Amino acid sequence: MSTATIDADDGTDLAPEPSPDRAPFLRVHQVSLAFGVLKVLQDVSLEVERGEIVGLIGPNGAGKTTLFDVISGFRPEARGKVWLDGVDLLTRKAWQRPWLGVGRTFQQVRLYPNLSVYDCIQLALHRRMPDTPVRSLLRACLGTSTSAAEEERIRTKTDEVVGRLGLGDYAGKLASELSYGTLRMVEIACILALEPELVLLDEPSSGIAQRETEALGPLLEDLRAELGATFVVIEHDMPLVMSISDRIYALADGVVLAEGPPEEIQANPRVIESYLGGSFDVAASTTRR
């Protein structure tokens, strides 16, 4: 991960704070969060190694999305520690975290409805411009050759992302004109355009057709190989999450019930009781790649 720092004003200069331990890549340590008397997260700890795909499962209300909110900065009141490659994320604001390598999707797709698919991806790619936002805006207003070259680079990269995610037929359509399943793919495209080092996917298969769900697993594994990114995936589709995950954490009532490879999790009595509701044969449902 880059050791570039993030300035409090423009998001480009932020000095990393070393954690007590440089490994693992993502470390969540005893994170707790309560809404009044409701304890949503209770001393949740997990570790993710660089390059892993880690699944996060649990019944509704287990605290999975809230944990993503803590990691991505939307719950600054949380207690505990979250380190990403040596940087204490809980000391950083939500808008700073993409510059530190965090990309995140949501349960409900959040795109600009009146922008085209192409423009949504281009907008995400401006995060990769090497200058500060203020200087980039100034260069664009002045029409400098540097600005023109950067815009051309972004258009080329947008074309690559559109082609990689198979969105060519939708590039000119407004987000408001798309089906929910296609919106999901555009959202993933926008996140991947950021080239994050840590990708938090919140129920990526929600609302998409079975054929698209079956293609999602191989796509995520291919993207991991191409980008070298680390994925944490909240997912209720058990065949999907069991097939792509190196390890899985199971949550219930804001507490980590179990952690381990998919074969152990699907056989864990506490997980079966709290979430799966019975035996679950991973091999019969899907084959790990």
Output the average pLDDT for the chain: 84
Nearest to 58 by CA among 80, 71, 40, 85: 40
Given 161, 177, 195, the domain boundary residue is 195
Per the structure, the complete domain to which residue 156 belongs is given by 113-195
Does residue 39 form part of some domain? yes
pTM of the model: 0.82
**Are residues 143 and 47 part of one domain?**
no
**Are residues 156 and 14 part of one domain?**
no
Identify the CATH number of the domain in which residue 55 sits: 3.40.50.300
**Are residues 183 and 152 part of one domain?**
yes
Half-sphere exposure (Cβ direction) of 179: Cα atoms closer than 13 Å: 9
pLDDT digit string, tens, across residues 216-260: 999 899 989 888 899 999 999 999 999 999 999 999 999 999 999
What is the domain count for the chain? 2
**Are residues 204 and 191 part of one domain?**
no
The alpha carbons of the chain give a radius of gyration, in whole angstroms, of 20
Does residue 107 form part of some domain? no
pLDDT digit string, tens, across residues 63-112: 999 999 999 999 999 999 999 999 999 999 998 998 899 999 998 888 89
Does residue 74 form part of some domain? yes
Q: What are phi and psi of 25, to 5 degrees?
A: -60, -50
> Which long-range contacts does 60-67 make (Cβ < 8 Å, 24+ apart)?
61/253, 62/251, 62/252, 62/253, 62/254, 62/275, 63/33, 63/251, 63/253, 63/254, 64/202, 64/234, 64/251, 65/107, 65/202, 65/234, 66/33, 66/40, 66/41, 66/254, 67/28, 67/31, 67/41, 67/251
Reading phi first (left if > 0) and then psi (alpha if -120 to 50, else beta), residue 175 is in alpha
Query: Using CA atoms, how far apart are residues 134 and 132, in angstroms rounded to an integer?
Result: 5
**Are residues 219 and 85 part of one domain?**
yes
